[in-house]
């Protein structure tokens, strides 16, 4: 039995990890130079470019954007997302992906069980609840963005589809680093899907052949062995400690945090001081490698 009650600690000012970023709050003047283009999170006022969000200023050539730290997910085509089905409707599922509007997964945008390629019939429509019901978690890719900002998803690849046993954690979408791949089979014995929308899925490693033979619809409902479960729990706590200390999430940072956490017990990682140590160790190691 473990019960820890402490007093809150004031936030320490971390020694500036890298060059000071250009941080702004809403209304701050970013530039008075008129030669720049107005991007997301900015507006023009009296010929001055001002920030409408609190975050980091990012510049691509002449385009200036503000990337907020706390935000809902703004989807982009090709993003990998993890989402939860909230509604089964006419030829579509509604999926919560942490954006302002629920995303849509059309029946025509999924692989049918068995990998059949054909027009979707009325029977398929009636069978929709057999594939995905409310509460189910899926991984998917953003296919298109509607004019109102809602996302259209697709799962037309074997790597996407319904998720089986494992757990989901939620972090800020701005903390997920964009990479070539967001599916990682980590060497520590678990798989992680770092959804661009800030939903992170951690599950026991599945071998790809099994998935291909079942078309991604069969779920393994056997109990997960304790050793795998411990790895998953440790990864969960590591990812959350990285997120609370505002470190970017990608395969290397997650793995380094996992290694830094090895000296502690899994449940001890829930304590703020130990979580901070793990995040600090990870930050130092990443900095050393980068330069």
Partner 1 sequence: MSSTLGVLSDAERLFIVHGVQDDLRSDGRACEDYRHVQVETDVVSNTSGSARLRLGNTDILVGVKAEMGEPDPGRPKEGKLEFFVDCSANASPEFEGRGGEELAIEVSNALQRIFNSRSTLDLTALCIIPEGQCWVLYVDVLVLECGGNLFDAVSLAVKAALFNTRIPTVVVTADDEGQQEIELSDDPYDVKRLDVDNVPLIVTLSKIGHRHVVDASWEEELCSLARLTVGVTQKGTIAGLNKEGSGSLDPESIYEMIESGKKVGMVLNSRLKEALEKEENSKREKIGFLG
58 binds partner 1 (CB under 8 A): no
230 binds partner 1 (CB under 8 A): yes
Residue 12 near residue 278 (C-beta atoms within 8 A): no
Q: Point out which span in 26-34, 82-90, 188-196, 241-249 binds partner 1 (CB under 8 A).
A: 82-90
Tell me how far, at minimum, the Cβ of 240 lies from partner 1, in Å: 9
Tokens 């970013």 — which residue? 30
3-state SS, residue 90: coil
Instruction: Please compute Rg for the chain using Cα positions.
Output: 21
191 binds partner 1 (CB under 8 A): no
48-51-54 Cα angle (round to 5)? 160
Q: Point out which span in 14-22, 93-101, 175-183, 281-289 binds partner 1 (CB under 8 A).
A: 93-101
- Cα 220 to chain centroid distance, Å, stands at 24
Q: Point out which span in 26-34, 47-55, 111-119, 160-168 binds partner 1 (CB under 8 A).
A: 160-168
Query: Of the candidates 22, 48, 59, 72, which one interacts with partner 1 according to CB under 8 A?
Result: 72
226 binds partner 1 (CB under 8 A): yes
Tell me how far, at minimum, the Cβ of 6 lies from partner 1, in Å: 6
Tell me how far, at minimum, the Cβ of 79 lies from partner 1, in Å: 17
Rounded Cα distance, 22 and 112, in Å: 48
- Phi, psi at 173, each rounded to 5°: -60, -25
Residue 85 near residue 107 (C-beta atoms within 8 A): no
Closest CA to 240 of 228, 230, 253: 253
Show the site string, 95-124: x = touches partner 1 by CB under 8 A, - = not: -x-xxxxx----------------------
5 binds partner 1 (CB under 8 A): yes
Rounded Cα distance, 204 and 16, in Å: 36
13 binds partner 1 (CB under 8 A): no
Q: Going by C-beta distance under 8 Å and a sequence separation of 6 or more, which residues neighbour residue 16?
A: none
Q: Which is nearer to partner 1, 134 or 208 (CB)?
A: 134
Residue 40 near residue 66 (C-beta atoms within 8 A): yes
7 binds partner 1 (CB under 8 A): yes
Interface with partner 1 (CB under 8 A) = 1-11, 72, 84, 86-87, 94, 96, 98-102, 134-137, 163-168, 219, 221, 223-224, 226, 229-230, 232-234, 236-237, 265-267, 269-272
């Amino acid at each position: 039995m473990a019960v820890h009650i402490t007093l809150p600690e004031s936030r320490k000012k971390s020694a500036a990890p890298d060059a000071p970023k250009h941080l702004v709050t809403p209304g701050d003047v970013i530039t008075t130079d008129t030669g720049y283009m107005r991007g997301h999170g900015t507006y023009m006022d009296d010929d001055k470019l001002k920030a409408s969000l609190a975050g980091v200023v990012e510049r691509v050539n002449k385009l200036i954007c503000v990337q907020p730290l706390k935000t809902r997910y703004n989807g982009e085509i090709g993003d990998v997302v993890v989402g939860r089905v909230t509604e089964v409707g006419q030829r579509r599922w509604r999926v919560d992906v942490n954006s302002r509007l629920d995303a849509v997964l059309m029946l025509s945008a999924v692989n049918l069980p068995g990998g059949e390629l054909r027009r979707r019939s009325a029977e398929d429509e009636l069978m929709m609840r057999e594939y995905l019901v409310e509460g189910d978690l899926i991984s998917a890719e953003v296919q298109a963005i509607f004019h109102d900002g809602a996302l259209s998803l697709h799962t037309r690849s074997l790597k996407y589809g319904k998720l089986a046993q494992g757990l989901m954690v939620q972090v800020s979408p701005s903390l997920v680093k964009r990479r070539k791949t967001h599916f990682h089979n980590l060497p520590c014995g678990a798989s992680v899907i770092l959804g661009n929308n800030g939903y992170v899925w951690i599950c026991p490693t599945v071998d790809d052949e099994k998935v291909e033979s079942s078309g991604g619809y069969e779920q393994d409902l056997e109990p997960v062995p304790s050793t795998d479960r411990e790895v998953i729990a440790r990864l969960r706590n590591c990812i959350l400690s990285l997120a609370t200390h505002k470190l970017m999430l990608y395969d290397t940072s997650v793995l380094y945090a996992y290694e830094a956490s090895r000296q502690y017990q899994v449940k001890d990682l829930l304590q703020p001081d130990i979580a901070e140590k793990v995040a600090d160790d990870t930050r130092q190691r990443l900095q050393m490698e980068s330069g």
